[in-house]
Amino acid sequence: MKDHKSILAVLIIFLAAGPGRGAGLPLYKDPKAAPAARAADLLGRMTVEEKFGQLQQLDGLWEGNYREEHLKLAREGKLGSTLNVRTAPFANKLQKEAVEGSRLGIPVLFAFDVIHGYRTIFPVPLGESAQWDPALAEQAASVAAEEAYSVGLKWTFAPMVDIARDPRWGRIVEGSGEDPYLGSKLAAARVRGFQGADFGAPGKVLACAKHWAGYGAAEAGRDYNNTDISESSLRNIYFPPFKAAADAGAATFMTAFNDLNGLPSTANKRNLAGVLRGEWGFKGFVVSDYTSVKELIAHGLAADDGDAAVKALSAGVDMEMVSALYRETGPAALAAGRLSAADLDASVLRVLEAKFRAGIFEHPYIDPALEAATLKTPEKLRLALAAALKSLVLLKNENALLPLDPKIGKVAVIGALADSRADMLGSWSADGKPADAVTLLEGVKASVSPATEVVFSSGAFAGAADEDLAKAVAAAAGADVIIAAVGETFDMSGEAASRVSLSLPGRQLELLERLKKTGHPVAAVVFNGRPLELGWLQENLPAVLEAWQPGLQGGLAVAQTLFGKANPGGKLPVTFPRSVGQVPIYYAHRNTGRPPNPKEKYSSKYIDSSFEPLYPFGYGLSYSSFAYSGLEVSPPAIKPGGKVRVSFEVKNVSRRAGDEVAQVYIKDEAGSETRPVRELKGFQRLALAPGESRRLTFELGPEELGWHYTGGFAVEPGGFKVYAGSSSVGGLEASFKVEP
């Protein structure tokens, strides 16, 4: 009988292990088992301290090394993730401590801010958004993932999908600008690029939609500042790109630094458990931003470390970045009943399941040879050049000054930014190397004929003396054209880089004034991470090209465009104000009862400036010219659940091939709640040969026509206008009705 019981016990263990698993092998170590089942099995084997350890993310050194205390924590099973730790020597050594030295062998998840490339740096996200080309953004994210994976990373803190309508906020550079429709398309594309069909595959990483939520509306444009956003604005403006990222399968979300309507985002259970997990069905895990759990104390929500940990974890923040309140105070809070065991286990399960899905239990180490074979290959550099070319926006081209003749006699390249490698990369450039960047000066020299004389002077920036301006003017003497590089350095936008002024820093405007007085034509190239005040340039210079911070191949892309090898076709993803006094300014505003009218004294306008922007959303010129015609909307009336087809023709009416971004906007004329004067609901970037025309068709249904009213999402009966054109201003106009 005793032998029979022993055999039965062995049989039970074998059956529990499932087919293909050896007797006694834990379920969580079976690669054929479902990630959720593996996570549940592993959770049941963990101590309280190990559980809290999986919720801990700590930062390594910026150059990629771990901190010495990480080794001990990894051996104790108290380190779930790191940021900054990367490359095989560092990542593999720390991983070995976790996998081979800890009791349960749970691998560390290595993360890094791979925002617009890892080593091959693409245009900053705001510049990339000016491409209006989600497929190209997806390709760039895929390259970034492949490079990040080659150095041991499996998680990126991107894409940033915050809608931003205040250019004083430095982090506007990291997102897609002001529009929720464009932002949603790009958010989904970047998630697909980072993760592919399976983020556990080689060369793919977990994406992280950030910052949830409302961070881009920081009051006064001051980073980390509070936000006060209505439910309507949250649902219709700030939430949609996050919803698009979640629908695209984003594995993780990151909470924001800001206080939202009186409740800091890192303890906002309504948004985390209610909207994200409850309404949207998000199954991934949520990480706090850098020390934002501890910052609940400074916000005035938490009384102390333990209170902050309880409030964040109970709200649904699964992993704590850098601060260690979960690990240090969590066990005591759990024992005292201030923290729910169910909340703790739910968070640990989400983190573990993501690790199983990421494949790092089976493949915890990175091949040291992979990095050299993957980073900055010729193919990747070609894509970086294509991305930079498509991101450029031509703002002015009076009398067709551009493109320039490559055989021109003398070119004066003026401005410190024209020969600055670091400033081509922009903020958050991961492991990009300034030495790899092509400057504008180098690009110009490569684009002109051998007989062309190219001279350079750095001119005026911060701290420039009178003699610096004089040297620049002297260098421009006798030039057939002056190319003036102006704008911001890479560190003047990004996190903690808010500005109260949007003017050109230093003495750059004074330099432009002196260059204009030479009588030589001046083409200004603007390198920047945010909209700047460019009114003087628009009024006084014949040509202005918006280049953003265009990445490794940026200088070459700008030069090829200036000298006609490429034709600019980008469009602005954000409104450019005439002055900072207009901020916040955006195209999709609601109307007032007294719309702005310069002829009416009592209307919504300024007495000292135009109320109109300098450059509207969607604006951008080309060396080609395009004509729109034949707008048709059918049927003329639909039911709330129906769809209309919008079609029109775009023709290249010039002698030069070029790209155009056709845009479709709507206006709900009247309803139970007011809506914006225009809303983008469709776009397509297309290349047209001289004389070529193409008829485009867009379908607008409930997703495009609906609005989040109080009580839910709906398409309200009434009249709608449709606009089709090259920007958010003007264009063809038609109408249709939604019948009850």
Among all residues, which ones are annotated catalytic?
289
Residue 349's closest CA among 660, 33, 39?
Answer: 39
Bridge partners (DSSP) of residue 111 are: 83, 155
Distance CA 563, CA 541 (A): 18
Q: Is 448 helix (H, G, I), strand (E, B) or coil?
A: coil
Contact 723, 735 (CB under 8 A): no
Residue 174 neighbours by CB under 8 Å, 6+ apart: 115, 124, 125, 126, 160, 162, 427, 428, 494
Mapped to the 3 state alphabet, what secondary structure does 177-188 carry? Answer: CCCHHHHHHHHH
Residues forming a β-bridge with 650: 628, 694
Helix/strand/coil percent split, the chain, to 5: 35, 20, 45
Strands 658-668 and 637-638: unpaired
**Cα(350)–Cα(331) distance, integer angstroms:** 19
The C-alpha torsion from 357 through 362 and 367 to 373, rounded to 10°, is: -40
In the structure encoding, which two tokens stand for residue 313, read together?
A: 């974890």
Beta bridge partners of 659: 687
Cβ pair 239, 187 in contact under 8 A: no
DSSP 277: I
**How far is Cα of residue 35 from the mean position of the Cα atoms in its chain?**
29
Residue 43 backbone dihedrals phi, psi, to 5 degrees: -55, -40
| Cα 114–Cα 117–Cα 120 angle in degrees, nearest 5 | 140
DSSP structure class, residue 161: -
Look at strands 522-527 and 543-546 and give their pairing.
parallel
Q: What are 595's two structure tokens?
A: 């719309």
Q: Residue 382 region, left (φ>0) first, then alpha (ψ -120 to 50), else beta?
A: alpha
Rounded Cα–Cα distance for residues 98 and 364 (Å): 10
Torsion from C-alpha of 504, 505, 509, 512, nearest 10 degrees: -90
Which value, in Å, is the radius of gyration of the alpha carbons in the chain?
28
Is residue 46 within 8 A of residue 348, CB to CB? The reply is: yes
Round to whole Å and give the CA distance between 94 and 108.
8
